C-alpha cells in the first residue's frame, strides 16, 4: 500500500494542531504593549516552542516516508498513535501557559512530549521491521538524536520538581538540536542514488 | 472518476474532527493533579474513544477506496452522508463528557455511533453495486465485523437505560474489535496479486 | 498550470468550514431531550442545511475541475472569491440560529448564499473563457440549475420580509434540487469518451 | 526531494488560518442591521483584508513551487518559518479588531505582515540558491513588488503613530498591488516553453 494518503492525513492533523494552538492564545483586553506582554507574552513563547516541535515531527515524518513509501496496517496504527499524542499539544500547551508554568502542568507537558517521542520511535521501528525496511534501518542505524530527545524530556520532567521553569531548558534544547536539519536521509539517498521510485513525485 | 479528491476531502474532514475534539477539552482552572483529573479526566477518556473511532473509519475508508478507486455521483453523496455523522462526534462527545455520562447524552452518543456505522454500510454497498464493485463484494463477502458493530451500539443504547455508564462497555468493545487491524483487504489484494492500478501510486 | 493544488486548497477550506460549523453548535447545559431540542435542535437543522450546501459546492467544484484541469491566474482568484463567501457560512449560520431565524439574520444568510452562487457562476464562466474552456461551455450549455438557485435565494430573501421562516422553504428547495446528482459532467464525459487526461489519476 | 508534500502541508495551514479567522468574528447579540454593523462590521473588513493577504501568499507560493518543485532541508524550514508568521494572522487580526484599530495593535498587525513578507523573501532566496534555482532567480530578477510590500508595511507602521487608522491605507495598498495577478511566472514558463516536469501534473 502506498503511503500517500497516510501522509496527507498526517499533514492535515499536524496543520490543524499548529493552527488550533493559535486559537488558545488569549487576545489582550487592553491595547498597550504591557497588555500584550502580560496576556499573551508567555503564550507566544510556548506557542513558538510547540510550533517548532510540530515542525520537527513534520520534517522527520516527511523524511521517514520518503525512505519507505509503502505501509502496512501496523504502520497505519503506529502513525495514528503518534498523531494522538501530537493532537494533545494544544491542550497541554494551554494548561502550561494558563498556570504560568506551574509544577504539574509542566510535568504533564513533558509527559506529552515524551509520549510523542516514544510513539515516533515505535513508528520508525515498525517501518524498519516491514519488508523493505532495511533502508530505514540503515539510514537511522546509530540513532543518537532519537535517544537524546526522550532523555532530555525525562531530565526536564525531573528538573520541574526543583523549579518548574528549569524544565523548559532541556525542552528548548531538544528543539534546537532538531532544528539543525537532519541530513541523514538526504545523505543516504544521495549515497545510494536510489530514489524511492515514482511514488515520490506524486 | 478517480477517488483521489474524495479521499483528500474525507481526510481533511476526519483530520479536523479529531483535532476539533481537543478544543472541547476543558483546560483545568487549578494546577494540580486533582484539577486535571476532575476537569479533564473523563474528557480525555471520551476523546481517546472518539479518536479511536475516527481512526478506525479512516483506516477502513482507506482500505475500501484502495479496492475500488473510481467513484460515481452516488458514492460522492454516500461519502458526504458518512462525513456528516462523523462531523457530529465532537458535539455528542462534548455533551456526553459535560453531563458526566447522563442517560440522554449517552443514548445520543450511541445513536451518533450507530448513524455513522449505517452510513458506512451504505457507502460500502453503494460501491459494491458500481461497475467494478465485485472486488468490494468479494473482499467484504461475509462482513461479520460490519454487523457486529451496529449490534453492539444498539446493545449499548439499551444498556444505557439501566445504568448509562454500562453503555460504554459495548462501545469500547467495538473499538477494540476494530483495533485488531482488518487484514481482509490486504489478504484479498495479495491473493489476487491485482493492484488497483496506477491510481494508487498517486 | 495544473489544478491539483487549487483543488487541494479548496478541499481544505471546505472541509474546515463544515467542521467549524459544528463548533458553533451550543452544547446543552441540561441532560434531557428537551435541553437538546431547545439548545441544539434548530442549530442541528441549520447545520444540516449548510452542510448540504457545502457538499453541493464540493461536488460541483469536483466535476468542474475534472472537465477542465488547467488553471490561469484569473481562475485562482475566482476560486478564492468563491471560498471567501463559503468561509462566511459558519458566521451567518450561527447568527441565523442564535436569533432563531429573525428577519435581518435570515436576509444576511440569504445574501451569503446568493454571494456564493454568484461567485460560483463567475468561476465557471472564467473557466469557460479559458483556452480549452469549450468543454465547460458544452457541458453546462443550458445551465438551468445554475440560474434557478440564485432566483430561489432572491425569492427567499423577499419572503423573509413577510415571515422570516418562510425564507427557509426556497433555501431548502435549492438544496433538494442539487441533491439530485448532477449527471451532466458524467454524461458529457461518457458521450465524448474523452477523459481529461492523466491529470485525473493523480 | 519533491515539493508535493510541502505544498500540501502549507495548503492545509493556509486553509485553516483563513477559516479560523472566521471563528474570531463575534456573532451579534441583537438581530438588527445596527447590531451586525456594530459587532461585526469592522471584523468583516479586517477579515476580508487578512483573507486577501493569505490568498496572495497562497497564489505566490503556488507559483514559486511550480518554478522549482524540488526542496532541500533548508527550504523546509524556510517554509515553516513563513507558516509561523502566517499562523499568527488570526491572533493579530482579532486584537486589531477588538481594540478598534488602536495604536499598539495596529503596529503589531503591521509587524506581523512585515514578518511574513520577510519570511517569504527568505524562502524565495533559499530556493534561488538551491541547485536549479536559476529559474527562480530569472523569473523574479527585478523583484520590485517584493520590495514594495515591506516598504509599505513599514510606512503603515510609521503612520500608525500619527493616526492608527492611517496605517490601513498602505496595508490595503499592498493587497491591491498583489491582487493584480502576478504574471511573471506564467510569462517565464511560456517564454521558455519549459514545464517543470511531470511533477506538476501530480
Q: HEC string of chain B?
A: CECHHHHHHHHHHHHHHHHHHHHCCCCCCCCCHHHHHHHHHHHHHHHHHHHHHHHHHHHHHHHHHHHCCECCHHHHHHHHHHHHHHHCHHHHHHHHHHCCCCHHHHHHHHHHHHHHHHHHHHHHHHHHHCCCCHHHHHHCCCCHHHHHHHHHHHHHHHHHCCCHHHHHHHHHHHHHHHHCCCCHHHHHHHHHCCCCCHHHHC
Chain D residues whose beta carbon lies within 8 Å of the beta carbon of residue C72: 186
Q: pLDDT tens for residues C107-128? A: 999 999 999 999 998 998 888 8
Query: Nearest Cβ partner of C202 from A12, A16, A202?
Result: A202
Chain B residues whose beta carbon lies within 8 Å of the beta carbon of residue A198: 201
Indicate the range of A47-61, B132-146, C97-111, D83-97 predicted with least confidence. Answer: B132-146
B3: confidence class by pLDDT, cuts 50, 70, 90: confident
C189: confidence class by pLDDT, cuts 50, 70, 90: low
Per-residue pLDDT, averaged over C148-152, amounts to 90
Q: Given an 8 Å threshold on Cβ–Cβ distance, is A186 in contact with D99?
A: no
Q: pLDDT higher for D43 or A146?
A: D43
What per-residue confidence (pLDDT) applies to C200? Answer: 36
Q: HEC string of chain C?
A: CECHHHHHHHHHHHHHHHHHHHHCCCCCCCCCHHHHHHHHHHHHHHHHHHHHHHHHHHHHHHHHHHHCCECCHHHHHHHHHHHHHHHCHHHHHHHHHHCCCCHHHHHHHHHHHHHHHHHHHHHHHHHHHCCCCHHHHHHCCCCHHHHHHHHHHHHHHHHHCCCHHHHHHHHHHHHHHHHCCCCHHHHHHHHHCCCCCHHHHC
Chain A residues whose beta carbon lies within 8 Å of the beta carbon of residue C12: 12
C-alpha grid cell for residue B130?
Answer: 458500481
Whether the per-residue pLDDT at D88 is higher than 50: the answer is yes
Q: pLDDT tens for residues D100-138? A: 999 999 999 999 999 999 999 899 888 888 877 777 777
Chain B residues whose beta carbon lies within 8 Å of the beta carbon of residue C31: 95, 99, 102-105
Q: HEC string of D138-185?
A: HHCCCCHHHHHHHHHHHHHHHHHCCCHHHHHHHHHHHHHHHHCCCCHH
What per-residue confidence (pLDDT) applies to A145? Answer: 66
What per-residue confidence (pLDDT) applies to C105? Answer: 96
D182: confidence class by pLDDT, cuts 50, 70, 90: low
Whether the per-residue pLDDT at A200 is higher than 50: the answer is no
Of all residues in chain D, the one with the smallest CA distance to A60 is D73
Query: Nearest Cβ partner of C201 from B16, B23, B198?
Result: B198
CA D194 – CA D185 distance, rounded (Å): 11
Q: pLDDT higher for C129 or A171?
A: A171
What per-residue confidence (pLDDT) applies to A197? Answer: 39
Whether the per-residue pLDDT at A188 is higher than 80: the answer is no
Whether the per-residue pLDDT at B202 is higher than 50: the answer is no
Q: If interface means Cβ-Cβ distance under 8 Å, which residues of chain A face chain C?
A: 12, 16, 202
What per-residue confidence (pLDDT) applies to D128? Answer: 85
Best of D3, D5, D11, D89 to disrupt the C interface (most C CBs within 10 Å) is D11
**What are the backbone dihedrals phi and psi of residue C112, each rounded to the nearest 5 degrees, phi first?**
-65, -45
Q: If interface means Cβ-Cβ distance under 8 Å, which residues of chain D face chain B?
A: 12, 16, 202
What per-residue confidence (pLDDT) applies to D198? Answer: 35
ipTM for the predicted complex comes to: 0.84
Q: Which residues form the domain of D158?
A: 4-201
CA B110 – CA B173 distance, rounded (Å): 13
Whether the per-residue pLDDT at B26 is higher than 50: the answer is yes
Whether the per-residue pLDDT at C185 is higher than 50: the answer is yes
A130: confidence class by pLDDT, cuts 50, 70, 90: confident
Whether the per-residue pLDDT at A140 is higher than 50: the answer is yes
Domain total in chain D: 1
Chain B residues whose beta carbon lies within 8 Å of the beta carbon of residue C55: 77, 80
Whether the per-residue pLDDT at C66 is higher than 50: the answer is yes
Residue entry with cell 444498539: B154
Amino acid at each position: 500500500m502506498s503511503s500517500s494518503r497516510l501522509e496527507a492525513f498526517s499533514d492535515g492533523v499536524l496543520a490543524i494542531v499548529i493552527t488550533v494552538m493559535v486559537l488558545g492564545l488569549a487576545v489582550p483586553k487592553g491595547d498597550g504593549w504591557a497588555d500584550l506582554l502580560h496576556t499573551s507574552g508567555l503564550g507566544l513563547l510556548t506557542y513558538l516552542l510547540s510550533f517548532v516541535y510540530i515542525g520537527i515531527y513534520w520534517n522527520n515524518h516527511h523524511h521517514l516516508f520518503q525512505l519507505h513509501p509503502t505501509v502496512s496496517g501496523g504502520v497505519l496504527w503506529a502513525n495514528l498513535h503518534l498523531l494522538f499524542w501530537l493532537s494533545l499539544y494544544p491542550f497541554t500547551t494551554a494548561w502550561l501557559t494558563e498556570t504560568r508554568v506551574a509544577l504539574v502542568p509542566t510535568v504533564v507537558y513533558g509527559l506529552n512530549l515524551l509520549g510523542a517521542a516514544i510513539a515516533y520511535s515505535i513508528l520508525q521501528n515498525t517501518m524498519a521491521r516491514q519488508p523493505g525496511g532495511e533502508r530505514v534501518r540503515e539510514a537511522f542505524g546509530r540513532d543518537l538524536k532519537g535517544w537524546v530527545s526522550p532523555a532530555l524530556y525525562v531530565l526536564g520532567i525531573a528538573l520541574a520538581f526543583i523549579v518548574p521553569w528549569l524544565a523548559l531548558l532541556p525542552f528548548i534544547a531538544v528543539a534546537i538540536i532538531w532544528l539543525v536539519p537532519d541530513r541523514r536521509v538526504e545523505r543516504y539517498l544521495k549515497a545510494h542514488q536510489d530514489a524511492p521510485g515514482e511514488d515520490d513525485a506524486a
